[in-house]
Amino acid sequence: MEATVELSVRGTPAGNPSFVDRVRVALSLGFRSTLAEETGFVFYRCEAEASTLESGVTRFRFYLPPAVVKRYQIGDEPYAYAVDVWVDGKAMSRTRSSVSSNLLDADVLRSFRDRVAKDAVRNNGILVPQFKTPFLIEYARDTPPFVLRSR
């Protein structure tokens, strides 16, 4: 399963009007699954950071392995999603398209984020950014310059 987060990038007047540095994207996904333990849902979260982005449209892609999709009988669409974006460490305002329509209520969104924080820990590293997959080359011209961190 591929999830694409599309960003409209505008440079900063204080810096370079054509570029933005240190753009970090976090994607949280919740899927219904009859095979999920206890709750009926399975949650995933992943972050990726680009060192710099040029003004225009850019895409951050994330992947769930085929075996995971098959195991949990996950469909093409998540039950719920939330996208968070930071530029140079500063959180950007949430837009309508940064959360699924069933998370527009603040209390429901807070509950979703709490579930992701609690439950996605066991799935850490399963949802991966594009640069950690064989698909890096597939979109080579359309791939941001990711920051690689060693752990």
Q: Per-residue pLDDT tens for 45-60? A: 999 999 999 999 999 9
| Stretch 5-17: mean pLDDT | 83
For residue 107, the enclosing domain spans 2-141
Rounded mean pLDDT of the chain? 87
Q: What angle do CA 140, 142, 148 make, to 5 degrees?
A: 70
Checking if the pLDDT of 100 tops 70, the result is yes
Quick one: which of 52, 69, 77, 50 has its CA closest to 126? 69
Checking if the pLDDT of 42 tops 60, the result is yes
In sign, the C-alpha dihedral spanning 24, 30, 36, 39 is: positive
At position 98, the amino acid (one-letter code) is: S
pTM for the whole structure: 0.89
| Stretch 81-99: mean pLDDT | 93
| Stretch 66-75: mean pLDDT | 88
Report how far residue 129's alpha carbon sits from residue 96's, in angstroms, rounded to the nearest whole number: 23
**Per the structure, how many domains does the chain have?**
1
Residue 107 lies in a domain: yes
Residue 70 lies in a domain: yes
Q: Which residue has the higher pLDDT, 131 or 91?
A: 91
